[in-house]
Amino acid sequence: MQKLCAALLAAASCASVAHAQAGPPAPITQAGPIYSLDQAVVAAGGSAPSTSAATAAIEAARAGRTVAGLRPNPVFQGQIENITGSGPYRGVRAAETTVGFAIPIELGGKRSARVGVANAQLSRAEIQAAIIAADVRLQVTQLYVEAVAAERRVTTARDQARIAGDALRAASVRVQAGRASPLEQQRADVARINAEANVERQLRLSDAARANLARRIGQPIDGRLDETLLDRLPDAAAYGPAAPVRTVGTLALAAADADFSIADAGVRLARANRVPDINVGPALRRLEATNDTAAVFTVSIPIPVFNNGRAAIAQATAQRTQADALRRVTALDIEQAITDAQAQAANAATTARAASGPALAAAQEAARIARIGYREGKFGQLELLDAERTLAETRVAAIDALANYQNARAQVERLTAPAPVGGNQ
């Protein structure tokens, strides 16, 4: 054990040199061009059912705006008087027939108020489409990162299986030369078997991750994934003192603002609906008794006795108050979420930078020294196995740390995604 400690100390002293030489494991060799993350996002956006639903919602909102701007239809009216009575009014001899139209005239700005509500609903639908697009990008990014990490775990597992095979051959040579007990060869064989089984497990997980990504984007993946995605880390200086979080312009706050705009437009519509409309229209009346024709002009005004619109205004006002409160709550929640996500991304970057840098370099150097020492008889097999296990765990930890950073960065981008710019007024 003292020899192993000496090897680890030597590895630590050589870590800076080894880090310059050590890099990520070689990617899995596959034919075809690189299938990038952006290509996957575009493919997923075109095939996602949620995207189709968002597009249909925008079309419905546009149609609703058209409907809101339409004027009321005129009403055809027909009336027959003085029929089936008594005396001279028996039968239809004295019938008076009136035919005309009634044209509703909206007062109080109802039409413009309806259009205002429809415009606010259209803006909300467009923001919701942007939210869905951002969610799709986040989901595809997470699946893509997992697929890349799974392939890198396969590469690491194959490398460890190769190292275990080399260790088995070295143990066999030592046993045949009488320098070691046959137990060492058995231990090395067990390590090789476990390493090969781990390769099979990692291959299945990699195939599953790739299949999940292909299923999400709605098409098979042609070519290799971008292995360099995991290694894109920010500079250490990029994470200094935390800057004030600004939620203005983010999708979440824009959605809350749009909900408030809808509620505010609803108050204006409720107030406009309090003003009674009038129906006016010309008509012609035919007098059966004299066979003469006369013009008639009708005017009708509803009397707001039972429903004067106050309850509707109270309801709309309460809904606007609720939307305003929810908007303030959303602003606080999104600030907290962005702050937490930025801290997680910064911590993930620090962990990834250490795990894939000095820690990995030290583990590689320790394993290299342990292999040399074992072949030369300076270290025992237990020290070698411990160093190899530490290297394997450090490699996997580095892959996990890199994947965690990419996922954290994607989450920050999702929370700070800008709302679409444009108006529908």
Distance of alpha carbon 396 from alpha carbon 156, whole angstroms: 8
Q: Residue 424 has what pLDDT?
A: 53
Q: What percent of the chain clears pLDDT 70, i.e. is strictly above it?
A: 87
What are the structural domains, with CATH classification, of the chain?
2-69+118-274+313-415 (1.20.1600.10), 72-105+275-308 (2.20.200)
Tokens 């619109």 identify what position?
309
- Is 0.75 surpassed by the pTM of this model? yes
Q: Residue 30 — pLDDT band, cuts 50, 70, 90?
A: low
| Cα–Cα distance for residue pair 363/389, rounded to 1 Å | 10
pLDDT tens-digit series, residues 83-102 = 776 766 676 667 788 899 89
User: What is the reported pLDDT for 158?
Assistant: 92
| Span 103-151, pLDDT tens digits | 999 998 999 999 999 999 999 999 999 999 999 999 999 999 999 999 9
Distance of CA 331 to the CA centre of its chain: 19
Q: Diameter of the chain by CA atoms?
A: 139
Q: How many whole angstroms separate alpha carbon 392 and alpha carbon 69?
A: 68
Quote the CA–CA distance of 170 and 395 in Å, as a whole number: 23
Q: Looking up tokens 């290694």, which residue turns up?
A: 231
Percentage of the chain exceeding pLDDT 90 = 44
